[in-house]
Amino acid sequence: MRAFVLERYRQPIELREIPEPEVGDRDVLIRVEAVGLNQLDEKIRIGEFAQKLPYSLPVVLGNDVAGTVIRVGRLVESFRPGDRVFARPDQGRMGAFAERAAVAEADLALIPTRITAAEAASLPLVALTAWQALVERGRIEPGQKVLIHAGAGGVGSIAIQLAKHLGATVATTASAANAAFVRALGADVVIDYRAEDFAEVLSGYDLVLDSLGGENLERSLRVLRPGGLAIGISGPPDPAFAKRMGLNAVVRLAIAAMSRRIRRQAKRLGVDYEFLFMRAEGRQLARIASLVDDGVITPVVSKTYPFEELPAALADLAVGGGRGKIVATLEV
């Protein structure tokens, strides 16, 4: 089969002929119809996670997949050939940039009936990130206030819709050009990040979902109420993340040092900081699929590329600034 392979960090991915993936007893083999592109793919390509999440190169990239089941392992119970499915494969099973992908049954869900494979492929990683931040960790309830940074982006565009569904008052940062777009998604308050300082405008928020990191994350702590929570998805990673990933003691100490500054700032302000590195979870994805079918969440796809142009799509992603997600599709 054809797949896009990363041979060396910081090099472009290359189209290669490789063997089809092995299918374990609880795996599902998918004929890939569409793949979503994520900043995670680009960060892996340039080696940003080489120490925290090392891979044995060469490796097939790709963390969002949608397609049709071809074959199932002998212990699979929930899916059968012909089912249309989508997933964010477990981090150790990355490999969506290929004509076939083997995904654990536990990571899969049926594609919502009202959307295309391309739209489905845009959802898993960003929708699971939003779910795990707002529902699982944030436990957002009606009447609470949530700030979602970069509301026009992949995570932001889904998180705004989900937070609004949960009954929150939603503020977001976006460019003036995207103000009407994020309002249409459900944002109640829109801060033009080029003209306004959100930390001077907002206060008393229960949760901040930050996808930018750095100074933006530090300023985000100031808009929280006492006991509020800032969740960062760009880092810095915290000791809890290192423990969950089973990293060795040296790396765990290094990660603790990376987040010490922001954790101390949060403590001084009487708020909390957590790093979120989302995990694959088919049951959560099935609940998200139900929200899509109910019209609560609408996928946002900014551009679609042919599979053969994945390197160009990844370069486009690296430039940033688009609405929603970039997707690549395969002819079936």
Check which CATH number belongs to the domain holding 199 and give it. Answer: 3.40.50.720
Please, what is the average pLDDT of the chain? 94
Give the residue numbers spanning the domain of 85: 2-123+299-329
Paired residues of 303 in beta bridges? 326
Nearest to 167 by CA among 197, 140, 198: 140
Mean pLDDT of 270-281: 96
> What was the pLDDT predicted at 53?
67
Percentage of residues of the chain with pLDDT beyond 70: 98
Say if residue 203 is in the same domain as residue 218: yes
Q: Are 157 and 219 in contact (CB under 8 A)?
A: no
Give the whole-angstrom CA distance, residue 138 versus residue 34. 31
Average pLDDT of the residues in 40-67: 87
What sign does the CA torsion over 69, 71, 75, 80 have? positive
Q: Is 120 helix (H, G, I), strand (E, B) or coil?
A: helix
Give strand pairing partners of 27.
Answer: 104
CATH assignment of the domain containing 102 = 3.90.180.10
- Does a structural domain hold residue 282? no
Over 90: is that where the pLDDT of 282 sits? yes
Asked if residue 321 and residue 270 are part of one domain, the reply reads: no
**Residue 51's pLDDT band (boundaries 50, 70, 90)?**
low
The verdict on residue 30 lying in a domain is yes
Q: Is the pLDDT of residue 262 over 90?
A: yes
Q: Is residue 159 part of a domain?
A: yes
On whether both 145 and 260 belong to a single domain, the answer is yes
Q: Are residues 228 and 93 in the same domain?
A: no
Question: What pLDDT, in 10s, does the model give residues 130-181?
Answer: 999 999 999 999 999 999 999 999 999 999 999 999 999 999 999 999 999 9
Residues 6+ apart with CB under 8 A from 166: 134, 135, 140, 141, 142
Final residue belonging to a domain, choices 275, 290, 319:
275
- 52 confidence band (pLDDT: 50, 70, 90): low
Instruction: Judge if 22 and 61 occupy the same domain.
Output: yes
Rounded distance, CA 219 to CA 320, Å?
22
Same domain, 119 and 129: no
How sure is the predictor about 273, in pLDDT bands with cuts at 50, 70 and 90?
A: very high
Asked whether the bond before 54 is cis by omega within 30 degrees of 0, the reply is no
More confident call, 244 vs 261: 261
Which of 9-13, 88-92, 116-120, 145-149 shows the lowest mean pLDDT across its residues?
88-92
Same domain, 159 and 270: yes
pLDDT at position 33 is: 98
How many Å apart are CA 193 and CA 35, to the nearest integer? 30
- pLDDT of the residue at 254: 79
Residue-wise pLDDT for 306-331, tens only, equals 999 999 999 999 887 789 999 999 98
In which residue are the tokens 């939603």 written?
170
The verdict on 49 and 171 lying in the same domain is: no
**Alpha-carbon distance 325 to 115, whole Å?**
15
292 within a domain of the structure (yes/no): no
Whether pLDDT at 278 is above 90: yes
Position 175 scores a pLDDT of 96
Q: Is the pLDDT of residue 259 over 90?
A: no
Dihedral pair phi/psi, residue 166, rounded to 5°: -75, -5
Q: Are 16 and 2 in contact (CB under 8 A)?
A: yes
Same domain for 315 and 262: no
Full-model pTM:
0.95
Q: Which of 218, 296, 310, 277 is nearest to 6 (CA)?
A: 310
Residue 83 and residue 216 in one domain = no
Domain membership of residue 289 (yes or no) is no
Number of domains in the chain: 2
Is 85 inside any structural domain? yes
Q: Residue 129 falls within a domain, yes or no? A: yes
Residue 127 vs residue 322, higher pLDDT:
127
* Nearest alpha carbon to residue 306 among 277, 330, 288: 330
pLDDT of 237 over the 90 cut: no
Mean pLDDT of 31-39: 97
Examine residue 76 and state whether it is found in any structural domain, yes or no: yes
Task: Using a pLDDT cut of 90, give the percent of the chain over it.
Answer: 86
Phi/psi region, residue 38 (left: phi>0; alpha: psi -120 to 50; beta: rest), is: beta
**Is residue 27 domain-shared with residue 71, that is, in the same domain?**
yes
Assign 245 a pLDDT band (cuts: 50, 70, 90).
confident
Please determine, for residue 207, whether its predicted confidence score (pLDDT) is greater than 90.
yes
Same domain, 189 and 305: no
